[in-house]
Homo-oligomer: A and B are copies of this chain.
Amino acid sequence: MPQDPRLIIVGSIGIDHIETPTEKRTNLLGGSASYACAAASFYSQPGMVGVVGDDFPQEFLELYDSFHVDRTGLQTQSGRTFTWSGVYEENMDNRSTLETVLGVFEHFEPTLPKSYCKAPFVFLGNMHPALQAHVLDQVENPDFVLVDTMDLWINITREDLLSVIGRVTMLTLNESEARLLTDCHHLSDAANALLNMGPEYVLIKKGENGSILFGKNGVYIQPAYPLCPVQDPTGAGDTFAGALMGALTEAGSASDSDIRQAMVEGSVVASFGVEAFSLERLQTLSRQDVTDRVAELRSMMAVEI
């Protein structure tokens, strides 16, 4: 009998159509829950919470199985699966959304399987903050909750978002979102304003420039791995967050040292993820590959050698 998952991850599950400066790919498995669960699976068997339509390809379900993702919490509903089409600009730094079809995601009401309700680690992927709160309501006293968000929710559901942020251990967002949510230009001012909203940690994502963790005990700077050939940056933040939460779940604790080590892992798994479209690089990745690159990245971060 499978064990109850110690980490649950809720988020979008989507079909992506992606155009980069060099390539155009359609019908890819995407969505924050897909990336985060695949990344987390290198450390712990995550329980996935999400919804797909009855058009969702069987091969994608099998792909989740190949990562040993627990999909008891994955609902299938009549209708279309959430779909996102996007195009990256020349430098890969900016992207535009061409089309979003919400499909069954529009009326998603995540109900947790009973086996998920005592999970100590919870990742609330980017989606409507009321849904994030609804998931959190169903988990009994989690030890560590990470929430992600985006500019859309900051703009249209600020109160719901502030309410969720007040209930989590760590908030993650990117630089411009941190400024948007706080009206502070300077990153450390924005981080302090976010810490005052309730979370113990604020993790600012800076893409190819890594990430910075602000906490009550200080700041930690996590550089990105600089040598990976980026083919598709889609899902990098979710991959980072999924691996981070997986590593914390594997550690079974979340001290400042545990979090820093988990951020190295997140940075490394994300650096592999962007080397190919969708989950294609993670599919061929071994834990040893991750371990080797963690050692390499740590040597790049070490002052004394």
Contact = CB atoms under 8 A, between A and B. Distances in A.
B303 A256 contact: no
Interface residues of A, number: 31
A226 B221 contact: yes
Q: How many copies does the complex hold?
A: 2
Interface string A60-93: 0000000000000000000000000000000100
Interface in A214-261: 218-221, 223, 226-227, 229-230, 256-257, 260-261
Contacts of A220: 300
Contacts of A304: 257, 260-261
A185 B229 CA distance: 11
A283 interface: no
Contacts of A261: 303-304
Contacts of A299: 218
A188 B227 contact: yes
Contacts of A301: 221, 301, 303
Nearest to A298: B303
- Chain A binding surface, main DSSP class: mixed
A223 B226 contact: no
A178 to B, nearest CB: 12
Given A301-B303, A303-B260, A305-B257, A226 B209 contact: no
A128 interface: no
Q: Which 3 A-B residue pairings sit nearest by Cβ, starting from the closest?
A: A209-B209, A221-B223, A219-B300
10 contacts: A186-B229, A206-B209, A220-B300, A223-B223, A257-B305, A260-B302, A260-B304, A260-B305, A301-B301, A301-B303
Interface of A: 91, 185-188, 206, 209-210, 212, 218-221, 223, 226-227, 229-230, 256-257, 260-261, 264, 298-305
